[in-house]
A and B are shown apart, each in its own frame.
Chain A
Amino acid sequence: MTTFLVAMVIAGTPLLFATLGELLTEKSGNLNLGVEGMMLIGAVAGFGAGYTTGNPLLAIMGAALAGGLAALIYAFLTVTLRANQVVSGLALTIFGAGVSSFVGTNFIGKKMPVEVISAFVKIKIPLLGDIPVIGDVLFNQDYFVYMGYMIAIVIGIYLYNTRFGLSLRAIGENPSAADSSGINVTVYKYVHIIVGGALCGMGGAYLAVVAVPQWQDNITAGRGWIAIALVIFVKWNPYLAIFGSYLFGGLSIIGFRLQHLNISPQFFDALPYLVTIVVLVISSIRKSKEDSPPKGLGEPYFREER
């Protein structure tokens, strides 16, 4: 059981990064369907940087930079040029898949150098790591996993306890009201879309650099879409994102482990999507404010038409 829970956290970590990234983006009022593409670009950049330099820090930074740059394309199109968000996001996914596959042909079958792998071995946190079960599951993991919790908590504090976070949420709900109260909507959108992309890139890099750690084409295998589902499932709450990501991570590996139960593995594969649909429907029926998407999500903002 403990080994399953440990594997669940590892499977959930790329989802956590991507979910947090998309969550920040959506809070600024932009629906970026390019998560899968940004993860793939981050994965190939992280792998490339780690493979050629042997430096784990450069691998992470390379992934974040590449994810952020990919998101910049989307931000320029949707914020500055007011392009349709759905189409721009899909284009970004095709772009990311293309770039990662094209660049990745140089890395096929290559393994991450030992220097990088050894930087991400499991490290037990003193005291916390000694708690039975929970210690092993949550506090005897690699740095990347720990970084995931910390970023989630930082984003939580940022959103709910800082002035910037409040402004960001205001933009997502009603950009013109935010604009008239003196918030620079464009800057906020750019910053959060780019940081969101960087997080997605890091999520992809976790797969390529730590979890696998060998290059495979299409290494994310649809996790970007699950992350989009997760943002809804966790109701745009970064703290819940931690649990949601591990839960969905668990769903992604449980089918394989329950083969003997005679439940078809495809049922478990479909579960994240079905659960998301149910959550989406319930929250729209209840019309509760906290559970629903930011009001301005998906709408371009035209100051001139205010």
Chain B
Amino acid sequence: MRMIKRTDMTKRKAIKIRTVAIIAAILVTSVFIGSIGHNPFKVYISMIEGAFGSGYRIRDTLTITIPLIVTSIGIMIAFKMKFWNIGAEGQIIVGALFASYFALNFSYLPKVVLLPLMFIAGFIGGGLWALIPTFFKVQFGTNETIFTLMMNYVALKWVTYLQYGPWKDPASMGFPKIANFEDSALLPKLFGIHIGWVIAVILIIIITFMMNKTKQGYEISVVGESVDTANYAGMNVKKIILSALFVSGGIAGLVGMMQVSGVNQTLTTQVAAGYGYIAIITAWLSGLKPAIILPVSLLFAVMIKGGSFIETAYQIPQAASDILQSVILFFVIGSEFFIQYKLIMNKRSKKEVA
């Protein structure tokens, strides 16, 4: 038996394979949940109920979808260049930190001035945090996967330090917490959800346009295909990677700004809440296509929100949702193989010529 690259894969066939993978994943998870003594159907139905059961829950689900979409878009830019940026979690945190600096110290400014300031600060914070590993990558070839991963923890400890030390709210009676933002630093709402969702939609449009229609987008895809080709074509590869990663980290930084300003109304160590890691998965499952990031992020938001609901409502551990998420992942990433390759049986025992 051997495998060959497929040339006959149609879009419809690919969707069919992925659908089968997701169904198989749900079946496998059902067996697991059932074997532990819970009714899997009840678990799924209550998850959906938890995510969409009321206006309040729908708004909650969408509030989780926003950071997933935006972070996935940021990650996508890096991944297009085969730059394995797994530091979005840290970039979100530092973006949040930079934005919070202005929220806490310049709250006397009017909203129309302060919010854009926080927005820019968040972008720069996340961008700089991504630039550090990127600089060493392009200069010395330092492994970016592990570097960006380590940066996540450094960022987290930095915020912890601020929360327990210099930024501790004196009014909190010794409780280690950073002060709540003044109203001037809070994102307004539109249809009951903070306007981060508008930003997410605009970003999808801008980035889709940038990747497909501009010189920068073209350069990114060439570098992703082959650094040699890019060099040969006279492109400044280092500059392309550095600027693309600044944007990638900057977009994650925006998420940090939106989370502190639109959701938590203060800075906590929980600001990134694992979105930086989940977004790696949503970006990947979307095949690095902005338009598909939208439904995939929503699916994951439903599983997250539904997971927390089943715990409070039915005492089914929230972890059931983590298992469901990861098993779906296993099956979908595994199914990619069958989209790209097909296995053929060698009828005659022909010796393989490799």
Which residues in A have some Cβ–Cβ distance to B below 8 Å?
31, 33, 73, 76-77, 80-84, 86-88, 90-95, 97-103, 105, 222, 225, 228-229, 232, 264, 266-267, 269-270, 273-274, 276-277, 280-281, 284-285, 287, 293, 297-298, 303-304, 306
Q: Which residues of B contact A94 (CB under 8 A)?
A: 277, 281, 322, 325-326, 329
Report Cα–Cα, A27/B145, bound state, in Å.
17
Report Cα–Cα, A100/B150, bound state, in Å.
24
Query: Closest B-chain residue to A96, C-beta based?
Result: B326
Report Cα–Cα, A102/B86, bound state, in Å.
26
For residue B136, CB closer than 8 A to chain A, the reply is yes
Please state if A298 and B145 are interface contacts (CB–CB under 8 Å): yes
Report Cα–Cα, A222/B150, bound state, in Å.
12
Please state if B147 and A277 are interface contacts (CB–CB under 8 Å): yes
Contact residues of B: prevailing secondary structure: helix
- The B115-161 residues at the A interface (CB cut-off 8 A) are 136, 140-143, 145-147, 149-151, 153-154, 157-158, 160-161
Q: Which residues of B contact A84 (CB under 8 A)?
A: 284, 333
Given A270-B154, A298-B145, A303-B354, residue A91 in contact with residue B323 (CB < 8 A): no
- The B282-332 residues at the A interface (CB cut-off 8 A) are 284, 317-323, 325-327, 329-330
Query: Closest A-chain residue to B141, C-beta based?
Result: A284
Given A73-B330, A83-B337, residue A101 in contact with residue B319 (CB < 8 A): yes
Please state if B153 and A83 are interface contacts (CB–CB under 8 Å): no
- Between A80, A99, A306, the greatest number of chain B beta carbons within 10 A of the residue's beta carbon is seen for A99
Q: Which residues of A contact B321 (CB under 8 A)?
A: 98
Query: Closest B-chain residue to A231, C-beta based?
Result: B146
Given A91-B333, A94-B329, A304-B2, residue A293 in contact with residue B280 (CB < 8 A): no
Please state if A81 and B281 are interface contacts (CB–CB under 8 Å): no
Please state if A266 and B333 are interface contacts (CB–CB under 8 Å): no
Please state if B281 and A87 are interface contacts (CB–CB under 8 Å): yes
Query: Closest A-chain residue to B137, C-beta based?
Result: A284
| CB proximity of A178 to chain B, nearest CB, Å | 13
Q: Which residues of A contact B333 (CB under 8 A)?
A: 77, 81, 83-84, 87-88, 91
Please state if A91 and B145 are interface contacts (CB–CB under 8 Å): no
Please state if B336 and A105 are interface contacts (CB–CB under 8 Å): no
The 4 closest A-B pairs by CB, nearest first: A98-B322, A95-B326, A101-B319, A270-B157
Please state if A284 and B142 are interface contacts (CB–CB under 8 Å): yes
